[in-house]
Chain A
């Protein structure tokens, strides 16, 4: 580590980023959850165990992609808002990897710039070429 003070600064930023990400996503999820409870009343259904993978229906189709979740948020759809909170949560560690990349660039550590890019590539490959 050539520049320990800047490394420490970046660690502090990453720590703050993680905390903010978790708090924000949690707040969104709770808000969505409260709306969800008002919009869904009665008996719980649809979670029961099924034997074959083909019989598994899973979450509603529109809750599986950010592109179809976001428009429903503006209709105050509780499930969509809660799911958006979950997506913010999923993105929190990815943001952390991006910040680590930044810190390796600042340190001019070529080896670790490459390693961090490989990690990002694996994550984003899933994101963009969704294995459906």
Chain B
């Protein structure tokens, strides 16, 4: 393929990935990796390296906007970053020795799980102010955040469980180069019972740091190539920016369902390719 066309396809794909990723909260990597590997025949290792840089770009861009609203809990973020950065380093080290078809298989499974988490019904009747874990007090994780109806206090639960799940989320993001937001939601919303707005913004705030921890290993291994990253990083950022402009007017519910179906389809294809050694 001619280089100009290749760059153009990457850029267009990245804009779409950023747009859908920001509208649905699934992140850009979910589209970028299948586009590169199954669409353009690029090696899985390059795809993972490129997705990793992409997740730093989108996370930092979005975190810049969120942090001013005072919803992000920096302490929860920092505490759990010990788990995610450790996990990310382990993941990046395993990735070097793991056959690419196994990585494709794991990626497929994580994608299906993410798609499910994105459309699942959320439990809206949780009393966030119920007394929590003693570790929440010890580690100063409990907090409050502003809502239209006043300040809401919350206490965190099951800190140890959340921490272990976060280590796993870190391993997955180091292994696959994606933000693994769905796993973070599992740890923060379901295990630790952190209010949805706080967990989303805090998890987003952590994705960049987690990715940076494994990015260095990927850079040294040659997984990050400027020829691929150069059109994709600006493309995803442009897409995410456009997404944030459309978001208030979009029918997120329907879009999310549609996108989740697309993702699940890509995931099955990825699993099939992994099983038949085509990747």
Contacts and interface: CB of A to CB of B under 8 A. Distances in A.
Interface of A: 8, 11-12, 14-16, 18-19, 21-22, 25-26, 29-30, 32-33, 36-37, 40-44, 47-51, 53, 56-61, 63-65, 78-80, 82-83, 85-87, 89-94, 96-97, 100, 103, 109, 111-112, 115-116, 118-119, 122-123, 126-127, 130-132
Nearest to B228: A47
Interface of B: 1-4, 6-7, 37, 40-46, 53, 56-57, 59-61, 63-65, 67-68, 70, 72, 74-75, 78-79, 81-82, 85-86, 89, 93, 96-97, 99-100, 139-140, 208-209, 211-217, 219-231, 233-234, 237, 279
A48 B45 CA distance: 10
Nearest to B52: A90
Contact of A126 (B89, B99, B223): B89
Contacts of B222: 56-61, 63-64
A122 B226 contact: no
Given A30-B234, A65-B220, A132-B220, A42 B44 contact: no
Given A15-B67, A122-B82, 17 more contacts: A8-B70, A11-B67, A15-B64, A18-B64, A21-B60, A22-B57, A26-B57, A43-B3, A44-B227, A47-B225, A49-B41, A49-B43, A86-B219, A89-B56, A112-B140, A119-B209, A123-B213
Contact of B78 (A43, A48, A87, A119): A119
B75 A79 contact: no
A79 B226 CA distance: 6
Nearest to B143: A1
Q: Which 4 A-B pairs have the closest CB atoms?
A: A58-B222, A93-B208, A33-B230, A82-B226
Given A64-B219, A65-B220, A26 B233 contact: yes
A59 B226 CA distance: 8
B57 A122 contact: no
Given A57-B222, A83-B224, A96-B208, A42 B82 contact: no
A127 B237 CA distance: 26
Nearest to A80: B226
Contacts of A86: 53, 219, 224, 226, 229, 233
A50 B43 contact: yes
A74 B169 CA distance: 40
A78 B234 CA distance: 16
19 contacts: A12-B68, A15-B63, A18-B64, A26-B234, A30-B230, A40-B3, A42-B2, A43-B3, A44-B227, A58-B223, A65-B219, A89-B233, A90-B53, A92-B56, A93-B60, A96-B208, A119-B85, A123-B209, A130-B220
